[in-house]
Chain A
Amino acid sequence: MDGEVARAWQAAAAVVDPEVPVLTIEDLGVLRSVTVTGDTARAAITPTYSGCPAVDAIRCDVADALRGAGYRDVSVDVVLAPAWSTDWMTDAGKHKLRAYGIAPPSGRAAHSGPVPIALSVRCPRCGSLSTREIAHFGSTSCKALYECSACLEPFDYFKVH
């Protein structure tokens, strides 16, 4: 990555997810590429879920960030392939997620066979593995709702996808 591309990347990479504001789009693995030609910057992002409404907000924020970095001609593409997976989330992102009170994805999305084995989800508050799923679907597309049987607190779980 040359210096100019690195500068544009850093500007775009600092954009945070509107639903999980402790995570940058770099932490999430949503920022795929940034290219620069003169004063033209072009970024590519990938949606976490097909219908995720945050994608539109992230597109606008990336375009603003690139304009803020001085590029006059800015575009942001949404690319579908390869499909995003929670495996792309950085370790730093997972730590930030846990500190924020959301259990990060446990295990990897890449698997063969129709039924992945569900690993225990660790409570982000007390660390207990004694937790249970309350609802398959949570406050956003990417999360499920869990409850800790040790500290009795409900929490969001960023599901493996």
Chain B
Amino acid sequence: MHRDVHGDIHGDVHVDAVELDPELVGAGGADADHDVAQYAQWLGDDALVLAQRLGAWISRAPELEEDIALGNIALDLVGQARSLLHHAGTADGRSEDDLAYFRDETEFRSSWLVEQPNGDFAATIARQLVASTYMHELYARLQHASEPTLAAIAAKAVLEVAYHRDHAVQWTLRLGDGTDESRRRMVAGLDAVWPYVDELFADTPLIDRLGDRAVRPSTLREPVLAALRDVLRQAGLAEPDLPPAPCGGRAGRHSEYLGYILAEMQVLARQHPGASW
């Protein structure tokens, strides 16, 4: 929880009373129960960690338009993460900021896919292709879930991630079917992320308990893989033949990368709790 930092050494930081953010409520506005909160953290943490990764491209993308594109995609993802984590927090009185900034690595429920390094532009596009194709299938179904707030968030998000997917598809076609060098990089990028695709489709007891309030991950495997294979075929690329990596993101076991991502994302909020500007 936030500490009261009035009068400490950070005298120039404006400190507000931290209170629950009343915005971004969903259709019914009902609080999440513990299971819905857990599931909202799966989705919210995926969006948040991927946004943090993409944000690192700002000022470093290969051209200005792509700088803006990756930044815009990250912004959409931050918005989705805010809605999802706000809803998760209603289960136990935490705010979206509490969940984003004041949870440690083992409390995050993001998948290993979104933690993977940016690499070169092709590697980022490969990660975007998988992530946005998965999110699009997920939100397209979740908008019909029986949990009204999750459904409302998904109905908004599905339009945004469709655009992200379109962006990733266009670049996959261009790079895969481009020069020898662009193709080499796209193949390497796909190889780097492919072992982390399988984790996205793993069911857990949580999913059994949620029933039609959530989307069963295993039901996404066929449509997501079919959509990915279709893009790869058009780009003249083969599906990587690589075994799944042992992942544990939904249980709080993460790759070596997440700690560094969180350190950068959380440092300001932890050094100056309640800071605003």
Contact = CB atoms under 8 A, between A and B. Distances in A.
Interface of A: 47, 49-53, 55-56, 59, 75, 77-85, 109, 134-139, 141, 145, 161
Interface stretch (B91-99, B108-116, B158-166, B203-211): B158-166
Contact of A81 (B27, B76, B160, B170): B27
Interface in B140-167: 148-149, 151-153, 155-157, 159-160, 163, 166-167
Contacts of A138: 68
Given A77-B22, A136-B69, A161 B155 contact: no
Which 9 pairs, one residue from A and one from B, show the smallest C-beta to C-beta distance?
A51-B79, A50-B79, A81-B152, A135-B65, A81-B27, A137-B69, A51-B75, A137-B72, A80-B152
Interface residues on B, range: 20 to 34
Contacts of B65: 134-135, 137, 145
Contacts of B160: 49-50
Contacts of B170: 136
A36 B69 CA distance: 41
Given A80-B155, A135-B69, 18 more contacts: A49-B76, A49-B160, A50-B80, A50-B82, A50-B83, A51-B75, A51-B76, A52-B75, A80-B149, A80-B153, A82-B155, A83-B156, A135-B65, A137-B72, A137-B73, A141-B72, A161-B159, A161-B163
Nearest to B68: A137
A52 B160 CA distance: 12
Contact of A137 (B22, B26, B27, B167): B167
Given A50-B156, A135-B65, A137-B72, A78 B77 contact: no
A80 B154 CA distance: 9
Contacts of A78: 23-25
Interface of B: 22-27, 65, 68-69, 71-73, 75-80, 82-83, 148-149, 151-153, 155-157, 159-160, 163, 166-167, 170
A82 B159 CA distance: 13
Contacts of B82: 50-51
Nearest to A138: B68
B25 A80 contact: yes
Contacts of B25: 77-80
A136 B166 contact: yes
Contacts of B155: 80-83
20 contacts: A50-B82, A50-B156, A51-B76, A52-B75, A53-B75, A55-B23, A59-B23, A75-B22, A77-B22, A79-B26, A80-B24, A80-B83, A81-B27, A81-B148, A82-B155, A109-B159, A135-B68, A137-B68, A137-B167, A161-B163
Contacts of A135: 65, 68-69
B152 A50 contact: no
Contact of B156 (A59, A75, A80, A141): A80
Nearest to A114: B162
Contact of A136 (B71, B79, B152, B163): B163
A129 to B, nearest CB: 22
A57 B54 CA distance: 25
